[in-house]
Structure 1
Amino acid sequence: MISLPLAPKILKEDKNKAVFQIEALYPGFGVTIANALRRVLLSSLPGCAVTEVKIKGVSHEFSTIDGVLEDVIIIIQNLKGLRFKIFEGESQTASLKVKGEKTVCGSDFKLPTQVKLANPSQHICTLTSSKADIEIDIVIERGMGYEPKDIRKKKKSDIGTMALDAIFTPIKSVSFEIENMRVGDRTNFDRVNLSIETDGTLTPEEAFLDACHILVDHFSLFLNALAPAKEEEKSKIEELDLSGRVADALSKGGIKTISGLSRKTEKALRELEGMGDA
């Protein structure tokens, strides 16, 4: 039987960086587990990004603005570097209006209460004269991974609004090292050091746990789908003390047994037609 590893521990921890160590992994399991975690961390954690920008007096990204040191294309790159966290809704807007000689940063944006900026010192642009001014409106959206602006261009936007390539992932980097260690008489067990750096919208520990939950949810689905059902799970949902509306909604959703019901998440159940807030 394959032995289980020791519980993970945190070797080093900074504000947005941490190194997690997993010891006593069965030979070969180090790369299996570390690579799975790395792929999930980089591709599957939700985050927020600036997806659209509108700058007063600017019609395209290759423009320049009088009294502003940076070209518009540089300003857009700086806006992409803003890292937000949305507490409510899938999309929010923010704006800034600055006049006079000044260095403009992320902290100059007026944000709704449902949004938090993780890096307020992020440089946006530099106004070089007392008469210079700039007005910027941005759209912040939730998402996962990377979404090119070509997809976003299909959506209807106001004139002068520029769609941006969106990097939603809250993970800046993930790397791992694997080395041999002794367990009993064997010296070929694996030790993994997994390094995670986030953008500040969540901690490395939260990111690590989220990635673990995603993997566990997938494997649990496989187990529940293929494992023999217990007698009570084979029972029809009609045997449960459910209201007629709920029973009808489950039936229309193709859920006939207690086993089928147990495999559905709360979110999936709420999305069934006729379920509502039941």
Structure 2
Amino acid sequence: MTKLTNFKVEAVSEEGSSGIYSISPLPPGFGTTLGNVLRRILLSSIQGAAITEVRITGVSHQFSTIEGIKEDVVNLILNLKQIRFKLHDENPVVVTLSTKGIKSVTAKDFDANPSAEVMNTDAPIAELTSAKATLELQVLVEPGFGYVQRESNEHPKIGVLPVDSAFSPIMHVADSVEPTRVGEDTNYDKLILRIVTDNSITPREALTQAAQLAVAYFAKISGQSVDLDNLNALVAPIERVEESAVALSKKEASIVVDDLDLPLRTINSLKKFGIHNLGDLVGTPELELMNIRGLGETSIKQIINLVATESWK
């Protein structure tokens, strides 16, 4: 059996709905293995909320038009599908909207509801182009997983329009594996996970839930009993990385980026961003590196590898 390494799960960066997490050191190959499992669970099995049906006053079918409103019903429903909700309990909630006059209607115009919170209030819904135009609608918001086509949401109700529902609160997940060092060995894996949510759940909460679900399934396979109502006990808390784990001497920190083993284009991009020496580079979070103009995925991997292997020594 492969020896379990004493790895850590660390938050490299957390900014709003985006988070970057590292899991290391892992035995060779385990970075890809864990990355695939966590990514698939994050995309398919984290509960969210979405609109499943719409009722619009004066509209009996989706191919209708509404007087005084720029969008037809099809486009209006497409706009409603983009609205993200957070439910504060497990029960479906009806949310209403009623407005009139010349204006741009956004998700902010939904009536306040203590059981449902709109996460992207600036999402557009419709353009009212006449002073006499009115828009009154009700949407049913339900909890669920993944993506459900409207055929599955069909209800035999007159005036009710079923909607394709994207329940997953995860907007983006990317995983990559970088080399890392344990003592003199440099063939260990560091798994980097980048998670973006719709703000109804934090990236940290999403990663924790994914890990808990993975542990529950593997425990069941191994014959262990699992308390599914207390999955929090299965996963250790994520540590916060306050600063780089690489300790630099004063002399090392002053090494100019021109002297590092990096491509000239990468060096120029770093200098334009204000990173002039090794101390600046080591102290820059990966999330900031990703925002530097001229640095692609390959360049960032080269920088991470350089820091991980301390190749300037």
TM-score, scaled to structure 2: 0.69
2:5 corresponds to 1:4: yes
Distance (Å, rounded) in 1 between the aligned partners of 2:228 and 2:38: 23
Question: In the alignment, which residue of structure 2 is the partner of 1:122?
Answer: 123
For 1:105, the equivalent position in structure 2 comes to: 106
Give matches, 1:10-25, under 5 Å: 10-25=11-26
Higher deviation after alignment, 103-112 or 189-198:
103-112
Aligned partners of 2:128 and 2:229: how far apart in 1? Answer: 51
Change (3 A) 1:47 1:266: closer
Task: Evaluate the alpha carbon distance shift between residue 42 and residue 184 of structure 1 in structure 2; reply closer, same or farther with a 3 A threshold.
Answer: same
Extract unaligned runs of 5+ from structure 2.
231-313
Shift of 1:182: 2.3
Structure 1 segment 237-276 matched on structure 2, within 5 A: 265=228
Q: Is the 8 A contact 1:224 1:263 kept in 2?
A: no
One-letter code aligned to 1:64 = T
Shift in Å, 1:203: 0.5
Structure 1 residue 221 corresponds to structure 2 residue 209:
no
> What is residue 151 of structure 1 aligned with on the other side?
152
Aligned AA for 1:112? N
Kindly provide the amino acid, as one letter, of the partner of residue 195 in structure 1: R
Q: Deviations over 1:133-187 (max 9, x none)?
A: 111111000111111111121x33x211110111110100100111222223322
Shift of 1:115: 1.3
Q: Which residue type is aligned with residue 201 of structure 1?
A: S
The residue that corresponds to 1:180 in the other structure is 179
Partners of 1:265 and 1:166 in 2: CA distance: 27
> 1:5, CA displacement in angstroms?
4.7
Residues 11-58 of structure 1: per-residue CA shift (max 9 Å, x gap): 222110111111211000000001100000000011100000111122
* Offset, 1:263: 5.1
Percent of aligned pairs with the same amino acid: 38
**Is contact 1:6–1:22 with CA below 8 Å preserved after alignment?**
yes
The DSSP-based 3-state class of the residue aligned with 1:194 is: strand
Q: Does structure 2 retain, via aligned residues, the 8 Å contact 1:5–1:26?
A: no
Task: Give structure 1 stretches of 5+ with no counterpart.
Answer: 226-261, 268-278
Count the aligned residue pairs.
229
Amino acid at match of 1:218: Y
Deviation at 1:264, TM superposition (A): 5.9
Letter in 2 for 1:189: Y
Residue 222 of structure 2 aligns to a residue in which SS?
helix
Cα distance in structure 1, aligned partners of 2:178 and 2:6:
14
Equivalent position SS for 1:8: strand
Aligned to 2:68: 67
In the superposition, the TM-score normalised over structure 1's length comes to 0.78
**1:7-86 matched pairs, under 5 angstroms:** 7-86=8-87
Pair 1:16–1:2, CA change in 2 (3 A)? same
Matched residues in 1 for 2:148 and 2:96: separation?
23
Q: CA deviation at 1:221?
A: 2.1
One-letter identity of the residue aligned with 2:113: P
SS at 2:77's partner residue?
A: helix
